[in-house]
Amino acid sequence: MIRSRRAFLGLLAGAPMVLSTGRGWAAGGRAYGEVTRARPVRLPADHAAHPDFAIEWWYFTGFLELSDGGRRTFEVTFFRNRPEPGPWEDNPSAFTPRQVISAHAALADPATEDFRHWRRLARVGVDGGRAEAGRLSVGIRDWRLEEGPEDVWRLRLGGDPGPWDMRLRPTGEAVLQGPAGVSAKNASGSVASYYYTYPAMAVEGTLPVDGEAQEVEGTAWFDHEWTSTFLPEGTAGWDWVGLRFDDGGGLMAYRFRDSEGRTAYAAGTRIRPDRSVAHLGPQEVRWRPLREWTSPDTGHTYPVAWEIRAGELTLRVEPLFDHQEMRGTGPYNPTYWEGAMRISGDRQGEGFLEMTRLGAEGAG
């Protein structure tokens, strides 16, 4: 999905990034990788990193039950960024930022409305960043995501939020977000990404609760997306949801906003309980804000409750609580809203919403 991750990654290395060309591009050196349906998503090989492409992320959101009966929601994303190609990439210095890895994590207690988040940033190699092209292995020092035996993934975080230690297992086939896993981001398809989802990974492991490791189990939504183009021209903000329904189906939907807050482009994927899909075009996805919330910390305003029409479905999406803002400190650490939601209307369920603040591109 095109969302705050685009702004975040585009700023990481302080280098200009491709915004709206449909082709691999370079000022010199090896060109960026190109998204094309002639080369569809291939699993499981594509779980690994794609270092020729400009940007990429591995993204989890989930709902967890604690062994003592409590509940938590969590978010973890690893990002890989390749700055603009050029002769500088041939510099043999270990400090040359050929690939930059960043990550964020958040943990929330809906009962108390406690929301905490953490971030990291590193170059591949010298700073402890990693993103392997031959297998799923990405991370920064003691924050790691790795694929293990029998299709069980291991997500571990140390340091400030840790120790987190979770095992995740795909349930069912991956959902390709667009034909062949190519997700168009504008009407012409000149802006696109490779994109697939596991909407209901099984999760078990341990999380720190009041200073003690506690067993957890639950379900997570996983997105993997990579591209060399990421924002259609004229984009001033965006909104995205990944929703799971109680009947086993789900929905991924997004929209881009122009400078007036109007929808510039919208699309999505309806996931049926049997994992068959219907790809939804701009005329089939409608977003209508129902309520706004202004952060007491940053003063940013976000539409936190929505009516979303997706095909024949009309859904109401509301936050478990309002204060789920990922607060940043500057252009390398952007501020945006990303939080757990409840679903009502034609379907019941839960999921996550991500959006930039009104009138901004998410770098706030």
- For the chain, the domain total comes to 1
Q: Are the C-beta atoms of residues 230 and 362 closer than 8 Å to each other?
A: no
The answer to the question of residue 363 being in a domain is no
The answer to the question of residue 253 being in a domain is yes
The C-alpha angle with vertex 247 and arms to 245 and 253, in degrees rounded to 5, equals 30
CA distance 73 to 237: 25
The answer to the question of residue 303 being in a domain is yes
> What is the rounded end-to-end Cα distance, in angstroms, of the chain?
20
Q: From residue 307, how far is each of 62, 105, 175 by CA, in Å?
A: 22, 27, 24
Instruction: For residue 237, give its domain range.
Output: 4-355
118-149 burial, b if ≥16 CB within 10 A, otherwise e? bbbbbbbeebebbbeeeebbbbbeebbbbeee
3-state secondary structure (DSSP) of residue 52: coil
The answer to the question of residue 361 being in a domain is no
The CATH number covering residue 60 comes to 2.40.370.10
Element at 7 (helix H, strand E): helix 4-12
- Joined together, the tokens standing for residue 28 give 């010199």
The answer to the question of residue 51 being in a domain is yes
Each of the 364 residues of the chain gets a pLDDT tens digit; together they read: 433 444 443 443 333 333 333 333 344 457 899 999 999 999 999 999 999 999 999 999 999 999 989 999 999 999 999 987 777 677 777 667 789 999 999 999 999 999 999 999 999 988 899 999 999 999 999 999 999 998 999 999 999 888 999 999 999 999 999 999 999 999 888 999 999 999 999 999 999 988 889 999 999 999 999 999 877 777 878 899 999 999 999 999 999 888 888 888 999 999 999 999 999 999 999 999 999 999 999 999 999 999 999 999 999 999 999 999 998 776 556 788 999 999 999 999 999 999 986 654 332 2
Element at 147 (helix H, strand E): strand 143-147
Say if residue 92 is exposed, middle or buried (CB neighbours under 10 Å; 0-12, 13-18, 19+).
exposed
The answer to the question of residue 99 being in a domain is yes
The answer to the question of residue 145 being in a domain is yes
354 DSSP β-pair partners: 240, 338
The answer to the question of residue 362 being in a domain is no
pLDDT tens per residue, range 70-116: 999 999 999 999 987 777 677 777 667 789 999 999 999 999 999 99
0.75 surpassed by pTM: yes
